[in-house]
Structure 1
Amino acid sequence: MRPHLQQMALSLLPDPAAASRPELRAFYDMLRDYPERGGKGLRSELLLLSARAHGLAEGSPGWERALWLAAALELFQNWVLIHDDIVDDSDERRGAPALHKLHGVSLALNTGDALHAYMWAAVQRAGLEGGFREFLSMIHRTAEGQHLDVSWVEHGEWHLTPDDYLDMVRLKTGFYTIVTPLRLGALAAGQPPHPDFEPAGLALGAAFQIRDDVLNLTGDPAKYGKEIGGDLLEGKRTLVVLHWLQHAHETRRHIFLDQMRQSRTDKDPAIISDLLGWLLESDSIEYAQQFAGAEAARGLTLLRGALVQAPDQSAASELLALMDTLTRREA
């Protein structure tokens, strides 16, 4: 994330030094924890590139509007991650213990709720007509995708197809990672968003998430920022796993599903290690990679067409290059 953007987001949060009580000082520190850990800032960068591509010059009078929208996106990402880590009982986030592991579920949940409110403060600072509507739509779609993801875990549902998975990730990842940043960038520049931003963004978002799922099994922990194999411990329904289940030997399938019925803390680490090995030696990783490549190609074709008349073709090229990098990510 751009340092200036991070400071804009942090400027909305209360200063721990001004706290009237030690408990509130601790709370203010918790509000800053995830934002200060940084992150790649992919969504905010995409928004700013979209704004430039649509003719909003960096440093122009309207640029501050785009920056506040980008800061709001980063605050959205942070409060959602706090809640997501609680739901998944994740151990780590961005190379450090998850917030609820440091302070407990109740305090972390309250911190996420508060950051949600500060996100709206950033949207208000942007002063963009239609900004609230875009954020509301993004939150609604993301929550729908999260509901699908979590309900399958809660109900022990494994009779799922790749199409079910795609429905979930297009909602949970596609809108807030790609579609909304593209649309907000155009609106910040005073331009109507191209109708193909949605199908392009949903395809690219799916490719991005599939790559992330693969990295959760194969990535370098130092670069990935989360525990390798965490999706298995959390019982995530991923394209890799769903494809593997369709072709697995009945004995291995039984062992897998037996472990997935256990809570995270009750899962057997040795068996989870075996499951990870079975997935890695199968052709399901390659299947997922090829699927992600096809989705990325389709999305990039649609996005390239949507930007062909963009006022700033240099920024449009940067945006397309970023999308290509994201959907081929190896870290």
Structure 2
Amino acid sequence: MDETTRLAGLIQERIDDTLAAQRTELEALGPDAAPLLTEASDYLAGGKRMRARFALLGYRSVRPLDVDGDPFGELGIALDAASALELFHAAALIHDDVIDRSDTRRGRPAAHRHFGALHAAQGWRGDGAHFGVAAAILLGDLLQSWADELLQRACDGADDRAAARAAREHFNRMRSEVAIGQYLDVAEEQRADFAPEPEQLERSTRVLVYKSAKYSVEAPLLIGSALAGASREQEQALSDFGLPVGVAFQLRDDLLGVFGDSAVTGKPAGGDLTEGKRTVLVTLAREALPATQRRVFDEMLGDPRLDEQQIEMLQRTIRDSGAATRVEEMIGRNIDRAEAALDFAPLDADVRDRLIRLAHQAGSRVA
């Protein structure tokens, strides 16, 4: 078994063990709580584990870590922090799907749709859709709570109190930035009109950075490296690397949100178009359109009733505008910038190579 496969298995095992322990702890609440706890396990049964992998690499870039070592010793501390990020990520996705009214996630019903279907199957009274939303919000809250407990366990296990405080501070800042970034995204969609260029591009970029880019790569690297006792110079190098990789990761997500194959992404094709996402991709497309075509584009963007042909028309408009090509170029430039940030970084040389490989995966993924 290669190391990547082993680490993926260890992360999943730590997540499974955490959820099983929580379920045992909560048995006194009775069988009516079982659907919520079962959905937690089902929701966390898969995924790319990108954030956990970056957290482990952040740790290993500063301090050697024996991946065949004691899972309850130093390795366990790193795995707790990495797994905490996956629980937090799952909570963010569940809440994001509620906000966006998404039907699917990873090829299965979104959590609020799952609970809505449960309501119907049980023949319960009241509004099934509202129950689904309420249950999904509570599931996300529960996973955030467990993520915090897991991160705290990692901090408590660290032998360096200053390192533990630094990791906790990075985690706390990440949570605040994601919540505010999500709010900025929601607020942006409510604006009656697009802002003038280049203000709109700045607004779209700010949402991209704080809603996703920082917490996808930079924050996991900083949390992992802080636990390992990173110096200020090491943290700065990882930040300089992580932010552009996170931007590339989210720019790729923006492309997938418009052009992605639903059979691969597990989400509806053109979902960002029906939701009216004011992404960098959409902003660049609008900038390139003549006034009349831009008005039509604006009228269609965000209409949940768009049919397949209308979605294809918007996709073609974005492609023909050259915006997709420009975003691809931006992804490439950000990956190049990230690589350059590691050229003379005071980090483990082998881990630098692993970071670069994972950065390319983040920028070129298809789901």
Which of residues 125, 129, 148 is equivalent to 2:184?
148
Cα deviation for residue 231 of structure 1 reads 0.6
RMSD across aligned C-alpha pairs, in angstroms? 2.2
Cα deviation for residue 173 of structure 1 reads 1.8
Cα deviation for residue 180 of structure 1 reads 1.3
Cα deviation for residue 234 of structure 1 reads 0.9
Pairing 1:73–2:85 present: yes
In the aligned structure 2, how far is the partner of 1:6 from the partner of 1:167?
32
Q: Which deviates more from structure 2 when the two are superposed, residues 55-64 or residues 117-126?
A: 55-64
Match of 2:359 in 1: 323
Render the CA deviation track for 1:53-79: whole Å, top value 9, x for unaligned.
212322264221111000100001000
Query: The residue matched to 2:236 in structure 1 has which SS?
Result: coil
Pairing 1:313–2:354 present: no
- 8 A contact 2:249–2:363 mirrored in 1: yes
Percent of matched pairs sharing the same residue: 31
Cα deviation for residue 320 of structure 1 reads 1.7
Pairing 1:26–2:54 present: no
In the aligned structure 1, how far is the partner of 2:29 from the partner of 2:207?
44
Aligned residue identity for 1:182: L
- 8 A contact 1:62–1:188 mirrored in 2: no
In the aligned structure 2, how far is the partner of 1:150 from the partner of 1:26?
29
TM-score, normalised relative to structure 1: 0.90
In the aligned structure 1, how far is the partner of 2:94 from the partner of 2:141?
9
- 8 A contact 2:208–2:250 mirrored in 1: yes
Cα deviation for residue 179 of structure 1 reads 1.2
Q: Which deviates more from structure 2 when the two are superposed, residues 214-223 or residues 102-111?
A: 214-223
Query: The residue matched to 2:235 in structure 1 has which SS?
Result: coil
Which of residues 269, 280, 290 is equivalent to 1:228?
269
Counterpart mapping for 1:30-69 below 5 A: 30-36=39-45, 38-58=46-66, 59=69, 61-69=73-81
In the aligned structure 2, how far is the partner of 1:95 from the partner of 1:329?
16
Cα deviation for residue 19 of structure 1 reads 6.2
Q: 1:237 to 1:305 in 2, by over 3 A?
A: farther
In the aligned structure 2, how far is the partner of 1:271 from the partner of 1:45?
39
Match of 1:114 in 2: 142
Cα deviation for residue 35 of structure 1 reads 0.8
TM-score, normalised relative to structure 2: 0.82
In the aligned structure 2, how far is the partner of 1:70 from the partner of 1:10?
13
Q: Which deviates more from structure 2 when the two are superposed, residues 296-305 or residues 70-79?
A: 296-305
Match of 1:300 in 2: 339
Pairing 1:96–2:104 present: no
Aligned residue identity for 1:41: R
- 8 A contact 1:200–1:299 mirrored in 2: yes
Match of 1:256 in 2: 297
Aligned residue identity for 1:21: G
Aligned residue identity for 2:140: G
Match of 2:16 in 1: 10
In the aligned structure 1, how far is the partner of 2:52 from the partner of 2:192?
35
Q: Which deviates more from structure 2 when the two are superposed, residues 5-14 or residues 237-246?
A: 5-14
Aligned residue identity for 1:140: S
Cα deviation for residue 261 of structure 1 reads 5.7
Q: 1:164 to 1:111 in 2, by over 3 A?
A: same
- 8 A contact 2:264–2:366 mirrored in 1: no
Which of residues 305, 322, 327 is equivalent to 1:283?
322
Gaps (5+ residues) in structure 2? 1-6, 116-131, 159-163
Query: The residue matched to 2:64 in structure 1 has which SS?
Result: coil
Aligned residue identity for 1:73: L
In the aligned structure 2, how far is the partner of 1:157 from the partner of 1:96?
34
Q: 1:261 to 1:54 in 2, by over 3 A?
A: closer
Pairing 1:208–2:245 present: no
In the aligned structure 2, how far is the partner of 1:136 from the partner of 1:295?
26
Q: Which deviates more from structure 2 when the two are superposed, residues 40-49 or residues 241-250?
A: 241-250
In the aligned structure 2, how far is the partner of 1:301 from the partner of 1:33?
39
Query: The residue matched to 2:342 in structure 1 has which SS?
Result: helix
Which of residues 238, 245, 260 is equivalent to 2:279?
238
Q: 1:206 to 1:226 in 2, by over 3 A?
A: same
Render the CA deviation track for 1:148-199: whole Å, top value 9, x for unaligned.
2111112344225322222221212222111111112212222224223333
Q: Which deviates more from structure 2 when the two are superposed, residues 146-155 or residues 276-285?
A: 276-285
Which of residues 206, 209, 215 is equivalent to 1:176?
215
Render the CA deviation track for 1:7-55: whole Å, top value 9, x for unaligned.
322323333894653321112112223112x101011011112212212
Cα deviation for residue 299 of structure 1 reads 2.1
- 8 A contact 1:54–1:185 mirrored in 2: no
- 8 A contact 1:72–1:122 mirrored in 2: yes
Q: 1:274 to 1:19 in 2, by over 3 A?
A: farther
- 8 A contact 2:208–2:279 mirrored in 1: no
